[in-house]
Structure 1
Amino acid sequence: MNLPEIFTMRMKEKLGKSYLDFIQTYNEDYHVSLSVNTLKISVDHFLEIFPYKLEPVPWTSDGFYYQPDNPVTKHPYYSAGLYYIQEPSAMSPVNALNPTPDDFCLDLCAAPGGKSMQISNLIGDRGLLVTNDINETRVKAILRNVEKFGLRNVLVLNESPDKIAKVIGNCFNSILVDAPCSGEGMFRKDPRAVKSWETYGPAECHNIQREIIDQLENLMSDDSKIVYSTCTFAETENEDQIAYLLNQTELFSQREIQLSGIAYDDENTKYMTHIWPHLQRGEGHFIGSLSGSTSHVKSREKYVDNEPPEIFKLFMDKHMKEPLVGHFVLEGERLILKPEYKVPTKGLRVVREGLLLGEIKKGRFTPSQALALYLKSENFTPILDLESQNFDTVKYLKGETIFVDVKTEGLHLVCTDGFPLGFAKLSSGTVKNMYPPSWRML
C-alpha cells in the first residue's frame, strides 16, 4: 500500500522499534466481526444457532470475529436484526463508556449507528438514547439500524452539537463522541481513506473536533461518563483534545478505561489508550475516557401514558397477546409510540422520536416494518414461521410471492426460526409480500 510519507515518518518516530511490526500489517488482511443484538437474542442462544464459525472479540462480550468468506449479510438472521456488522476495534468505545439501564445517553456523531446499537444493548432500550449525525444522508443509516434493532426509547436527530446543547441542555450522563477524524486507522481497510487524508488531514479534523467537544460542558449532567474516540493515530486529534478538556476547566477529570484484551503500557494509558493493528486484531482506534460534572442539570420528565387511536386498539386486540402501552401520538398519518422519557426538541431536526407503529389512512391501520422488528413472535398472532435454511425465506426477503401450506388467512407476522422479519397477508396459502422495497435482499 502506498502510504503518505508524512504519515509514515510520524509513525516511525512515534512507535520506534515496533514500527516495522506496525507497517507490516498493511500487507495483511483486516479483520471482520459482528455484534450480537442482545435485545432480541442472548449471546449463548446466538452461538448455538448461528451457522458460521465465530471467535470472541476480547474487549466486548457480544462481539465476534467471523471468516471473511462467510456470507453473513445474506443470512436471514441479519435481516431479522439479530446482529450488526461492525469493525472489531470500533466496539471498544461503547464498552469503555459502559452505559447502564436508565441512563440518558448521547451518541453525538453516530452514523451509521453501530455504536448506538451497542449502547441500546447495554441500557436494555431503557432510559433514553439520543443518536445524532449532522450529515442528512448518513443519518438515514442510523434510522434504518434503529428500526432493524427494534428500538423504542430513542430519539434520532440530524443536528449540530451546539444546537443540541442549546435546546436539550445538561441532561446526559453517558456521552459518546466518536469524532470525525482523518481516518489513519482505516488505511488498511479502506485505501480511499488515504486519498481523503491528503485533503482532509489531522489539522483540519482537529478544528472540527474542537468545535464538538467545546459543547460537552453544556450537555453533561452532574455525574457523567464521557468517551471521546477516533479511528486515527494523530496526537493532535487524540491526546491533545483530551488534554485540552482537562486543562480548560475543572468540570472534567480522568476516568479509568476498563477493557479486557488491551495492554496498558503505563499509568496514562489507563485513561487514554490505542488499539494498534500490530498488537490487537482490529484497525487503529483511540479511546479517551473522562468524568464530567456540572451544576446546571435539567430534570427528567416522563411522557404520560394515554390511549391509542381506536383503530390501533382493535389491531392490538386482534393480533397482540399483550397490548403496547405508553404515549401514542399521531404525526400526520403516522402513529408513533414515544420513548419513556422526553426532552425538548423544538427547533431541532427530529428524524424519529420513538417507535413508528404504522400509518392510519382512511380508517385503516397499516403496520410498519419497524413494528414488525420490535415485536416478539410470542406476542403476535398469527405468525408464519419460515426456517432460516428454507429458500422461501430468501424469496420473502427479496419481496417475491411465496406459497405455503397454511390455513390461516389475513395479516401474519413473518418470522424465521421464531425471529420476526416483516409482515405479509395470506390468502388460500398465497403469501402477499409486505416486505418494504428499500429493505429487500438483492
Structure 2
Amino acid sequence: MIQLPDKFMEKMEGLLGDEYRAFLKSYEEDRALGLRINPLKAEPLEFVKNSPFLLEPVPWASEGFYYKAGQRPGKHPYHEAGVYYIQEPSAMAVVELLDPKPGEKILDLCAAPGGKTTHIAGKLKGDGFLLSNEIHPARAKILAQNVERMGISNAVVTNEDSQSLSLKFPEFFDRIVVDAPCSGEGMFRKDEAARLEWSPDHVAVCARRQNEILFHAAEMLKPGGTMVYSTCTFSPEENEQVMEGFLLSHPDFSIVDRGKRPGLSPGMALWSKTGSEELKKTYRIWPHKSEGEGHFLAVLKRGGEAGPERKRSCPSYLKDKSVWKEAEVFLKELLVKPEVFTDRKEYILFGEQLYLLPPEMIDLKGIKTVRPGLHMGTIKKNRFEPSHALALCLKKEDVLQWADIPSDHEDMMKYLKGQTLSAPFSWPARLEQKGWVLILTDGFSIGFGKLAAGILKNHYPKGLRWM
C-alpha cells in the first residue's frame, strides 16, 4: 500500500468517521485512467465507435472516457494529432460545471498543463475568446504546446500572476476557472512528490495563496458571470473554508446549485467553521466512491448584470503589407477558402513569427505573453513557412492538397520520425502540384509536408519527432 503521511491519515479519519476504512482501502486499488475527446477534431461518440482503445464513459463528463492500463493512448498518432487529451477523470468535472458557451470570453487562471483550457476550447467550438494563464514560465510553455496540439485557434497563453492580470482585465470575462494550486492530497495515489511535500503547514500556506488568487479572479469576472473554484485536495481549510471566507468578503457572490451530478458527492457544511448550509451546494469526488482521484468543486455566481463593454486599447496590428505578401500567397495556394484568414486584420509580428490574435484580445503591452494567438508561421526574406500550429487547426476540407496516411501504416511512423516519403504513395491523397501538403492520419490533421518531384519532404517539428 502507498505510504501516507501519519498526520494526514489522522486528519482524514476524523473527517470521514465510518467511511475512513473504505477511503484507506482505495489506495490499494489502481487509479482510474482517462482521456477526453477533442470536439474540435472528432465527434466523441463517433470516435468511440471506431476507437483503437476500449473506452467507457466518465459519468460526469460528456467527452470523457476511461481507458484500461496497458493501452497507452499517449503513444498513438492520434495523440500527436490532438484527437484527445489524456486527463485524470475527476478533473474533467470542472469545465462541465463551468458550462462555457460559444462566443463567451473565458479565463483559465491557473491553467498548466492544459486540461481545463483544452476542455473549454472544445466547448467554445472556435467561437469566443480564451485566455489561459500560468504563473510558472516552464509550465506556461507546456500549456502553450498543448493548446497548439489540440488545434485551438482562439486562445492566448500568458505567464502572469493573478494581480497583474486583474489590473489588465477588470470585469472582462463571462466565466473563469480557478483550479487553484493546492496541497494535492487528492493526487497522493499517483504523485509521490505531493505525499512527500505534504504537511499541515503546507496546507495553511496553500489556503492563503488560494484566497489571494480568488480575490483577484473576482475582480476580472463580469457582474452576472460564473466562476468555478476547484482543488485536488481533501482539506476543508483549502475548500469549504476558503469558500466561506470568500463569500463573507464578497457579498455579491453566491454558490450555485447545479443539482445532483452522477459520481459527484455534495459538500458538507459541518466541515466549515460556521456550518453554512450554502456549502452543501459544493461538490466532492472521493476515490472510494467514484472512479477518480480526490477533487473539490464550487460554482460561484456574481450578482448584478453586465454593463456596456468598456473601451479597451487594441494591439498594434500588422500594417506593413509587404511583410504579409508571402503569407497571403501561401494561404491562396493551400486553402479552399483563403479569405477565412486573408480577410482578418488581427495579425502581429514577433520577430519573424506571424500570429493571428483573437479579435477580443486587448493591447499586449505589459503582459508576459507566451502565445499571443494562432501561430501562422515564420516570415523570412521572400519566403513564408507555415507553422505546425496552423496545420493542426486545419481540416481536410479546408485545403487543396492533402495526404491521409493511416495511423497503422509504416509511412505514418516514418512521418512522425521526420523521414522523407517517396512516391508511389499507397494511401489516399490529393497531390496536384508541388508545394505544401496537409498531412492527416485517418482524417485528423497532424502536420505539414512539402511535395516536389514525387518526394514529400517532412516538416514535422524536430522537437516532437518520435525516436
Greater displacement, 286-295 / 305-314: 305-314
TM superposition shift of 1:222: 1.4
Most deviating of 84-93 and 410-419 = 410-419
Deviation of residue 303 (structure 1)? Answer: 8.4
TM-score, normalising length: structure 1: 0.95
Asked if 2 retains the 8 angstrom alpha-carbon contact of 1:231 and 1:284, the reply is: yes
CA contact (8 A) 1:411 1:425 kept: yes
Shift in Å, 1:262:
2.2
Contact 1:414–1:424 (8 Å) recurs in 2 = yes
* Aligned pairs (5 A) from 1:25-424: 25-198=26-199, 201-258=202-259, 259-264=261-266, 268=278, 271-293=281-303, 298-299=309-310, 309-323=324-338, 324=341, 325-326=343-344, 327-406=346-425, 408=432, 409-424=434-449
Find the aligned partners of 2:325 and 2:361 in 1 and give their Cα distance.
24
Would you say the 8 A contact 1:220–1:294 is kept in 2? Answer: no
SS at match of 2:225: strand
What percentage of aligned pairs have identical amino acids?
Answer: 40
Using the size of structure 2 for normalisation, the TM-score is 0.90
Matches of 2:169 and 2:364 in 1, distance apart? 7
Given that 1:303 and 1:341 are in contact with CA atoms closer than 8 Å, whether structure 2 keeps it comes out as no
Matched, 1:425 2:425: no
CA displacement, residues 145-201 of structure 1 (integer Å, 9 cap, x when unaligned): 111111121111100000000122211110110000000000001122101214972
Secondary structure of the corresponding residue to residue 248 of structure 2: helix
Query: Contact 2:178–2:217 (CA<8 Å) still a contact in 1?
Result: no
Partners of 2:349 and 2:355 within 8 A in 1: yes
Deviates more, 1:420-429 or 1:48-57: 420-429
CA shift, 1:245, in A, is 1.1
Superposition deviation, residue 293 in structure 1: 3.8
CA 1:125–1:12 in structure 2 vs 1: closer, same or farther (change >3 Å)? same
> How many Å separate the matches in 2 of 1:50 and 1:84?
14
Contact 2:255 2:278 in 1 (8 A): no
**How many residue pairs end up in the alignment?**
442
Alpha-carbon shift at residue 23 of structure 1 (Å): 0.3
Compared with structure 1, are the counterparts of its residues 317 and 216 closer, same or farther at alpha carbon in structure 2 (3 Å cutoff)? closer
**Within 5 A, what are the aligned runs for 1:14-33?**
14-33=15-34
Name the amino acid aligned to 2:245.
Answer: Y
Q: Show structure 2 runs of 5+ residues with no match.
A: 269-276, 426-430
Query: 1: CA distance between counterparts of 2:466 and 2:359?
Result: 33
Q: Which moved more, 1:214-223 or 1:26-35?
A: 214-223
Q: Which runs of 5+ in 1 are unaligned?
A: none
Tell me, yes or no, if the aligned pair for 1:425 and 1:432 is still in contact at 8 Å.
yes
- C-alpha distance in 1 between matches for 2:265 and 2:85: 27
